[in-house]
Structure 1
Amino acid sequence: MYLPRFLVGMFVTSTIVAAWTYVVTGSVWTALGWAIIDLVVLQVGYFVFVMRLVSKGATAAAEAESASLSHVAPPQRDGRLL
């Protein structure tokens, strides 16, 4: 995800929510409250999404590392001690 694009989208969305709430209720304070709630929900969602991407990346890297090691043949013993 690209952070500046997300921030622009977040503020546009909160502006739309605030305008819609103001039109419905006629209260600036209610519109401001809903816009703040919208910003918090979007920010928490962004944080959860980024944490999911990071954990998937770490898991994929670990799986790739273990997969590359599984293709190595185990050492063969020929019956001698040394």
Structure 2
Amino acid sequence: MQARAKHEYLSSLVRPAGRASRERDVGVGDMYFPRFLVGATITLLVVVIWVYHTTDSIWRTVGWAMLIATILQIGYFAAVVLLIYLDMSKPAETIDSSTGDETGSLPIRRDGISL
């Protein structure tokens, strides 16, 4: 039971805010790369402006920008690894096959794409 509580806690950390309960629950949450990219870019711009304003040195600003970009990339990689680990640690009977029906055919209209 303790493992389930830990899984629920970690899932709540990575689940997007405002998610409706009627939506399909994958148990872990979703990672949206565009949202991360916008957040990382804004964070990087804030740091660049702050460092340049503080130091008046373009080289220190470039150094800080490279350091912050590396830290953000490592953090994103760690978050993806955590999501994969949490998804793989789910019991097999709770994993949805996502086939859409019992015939085993793939869902044609998944993610708004129709063929």
Cα distance, 1:63 vs. partner?
Answer: 7.6
Larger relative helix fraction: 1
Identity of aligned residues (%): 42
Aligned partner of 2:83 in structure 1 is 53
Trace 1:21-32 onto structure 2 (pairs within 5 A): 21-32=51-62
Distance 1:63 1:47, change over 3 A: farther
Deviations for 1:10-69, whole angstroms, at most 9, x for unmatched residues?
Answer: 11111110110001111011111101110110010010111011011000144858xxxx
Q: Is the counterpart of residue 9 in structure 1 residue 28 in structure 2? A: no
Q: Kindly tell me the number of residue pairs found equivalent between the two proteins.
A: 65
Give the structure-2-normalised TM-score: 0.52
Two-structure CA RMSD over aligned residues (Å): 1.6
Structure 2, gaps ≥5 residues long: 1-30, 96-115
4+ long deviations beyond 4 Å: 62-65
Unaligned stretches of 5+ residues in structure 1 = 66-82
One-letter code aligned to 2:60 = T
TM-score of the pair, normalised by structure 1: 0.72
* Higher CA-based Rg: 1
